[in-house]
């Protein structure tokens, strides 16, 4: 199947999946690919909110603007609409399965031996965001190179 769309899913859609969306959009554009990229959260707490401040900062430091993104909750229609649905950690993948997504992928399987991308929402400081960014950056690019 020719992959034309990818949805990245975390819990709140304010820290991790917005980074995945921003990184993927920039990368497919650089490669001249026409792929629809989006992100969503399984939770509803942050619907309509901007990405968290530290994600905006770490993205900006890496030349990516995610400021215009707004959080949304994943919907069942997404599972029909998107060719690939990718969870950022194993609980996201399990939540997706519970919601009826048949074959969600896990981002950490594309370069980090299936590791979970750590949830940085409760991180005390900015430091952990660099690690989260690098992990997402490597895995998103590997995913696109392997699957698109
Ligand atoms: P994210 O981080 O899933 O990477 O967007 C979180 C954001 C919000 C919450 C948990 C994780 N929350 O509990 O509100």
Tens of pLDDT, residue by residue, the chain (148 residues): 899 999 999 999 999 999 999 999 999 999 999 999 999 999 999 999 999 999 999 999 999 999 999 999 999 999 999 999 999 999 999 999 999 999 999 999 999 999 999 999 988 889 899 999 999 999 999 999 999 9
Cβ(66) to ligand 1 under 6 A?
A: no
Cβ(51) to ligand 1 under 6 A?
A: no
Per-position DSSP letters for 43-105, written without gaps between them: --TTTTPPPPHHHHHHHHHTT---TT----B--HHHHHH-SEEEESSHHHHHHHHHTT-SS-E
Say if strands 5-10 and 105-106 run parallel, antiparallel, or are unpaired. unpaired
Question: 39: part of which helix (H) or strand (E)?
Answer: strand 36-41
Contact 121, 92 (CB under 8 A): no
Residue 121 is predicted with a pLDDT of 92
Say if strands 105-106 and 84-87 run parallel, antiparallel, or are unpaired. parallel
pTM: 0.98
The token duo for 97 is 């399965």
Token pair 């690919």: residue:
33
Taking the centre of ligand 1 as the mean of its atom positions, its distance from the CA of residue 42, in whole angstroms, is 10
Q: What are phi and psi of 93, to 5 degrees?
A: -65, -40
> Could you tell me which of 133, 18, 12 has the C-alpha nearest to residue 69?
18
Residue 1 is predicted with a pLDDT of 80
Cβ(121) to ligand 1 under 6 A?
A: yes
d(CA 64, CA 124) in angstroms, rounded, equals 23
User: Which of 8, 10, 132 has most ligand 1 atoms within 8 Å of its beta carbon, as the pocket-test mutant?
Assistant: 10
Closest atom of ligand 1 to 14 CA is 5
Per-residue burial over 90-112, b = 16 or more CB atoms within 10 Å of its CB, e = otherwise: eebbebbeebebeebbbbbbbbb
Active-site residue set: 10, 16, 119
């Amino acid at each position: 199947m020719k992959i034309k769309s990818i949805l990245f899913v975390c819990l709140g859609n304010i820290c991790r999946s917005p980074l995945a969306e921003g990184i993927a959009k920039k990368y497919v554009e650089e490669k001249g690919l026409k792929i629809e990229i989006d992100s969503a959260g399984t939770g509803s707490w942050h619907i309509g909110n901007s990405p968290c401040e530290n994600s905006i900062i770490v993205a900006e430091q890496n030349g990516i603007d995610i400021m215009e993104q707004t959080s949304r909750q994943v919907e069942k229609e997404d599972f029909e609409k998107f060719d690939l649905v990718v969870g950022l950690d194993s609980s996201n993948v399990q939540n997706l399965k519970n919601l009826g997504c048949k074959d969600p992928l896990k981002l950490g399987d594309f370069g980090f031996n299936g590791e979970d991308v750590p949830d940085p929402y409760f991180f005390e400081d900015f430091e952990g965001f660099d690690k989260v960014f690098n992990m997402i950056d490597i895995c998103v690019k590997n995913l696109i190179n392997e699957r698109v």
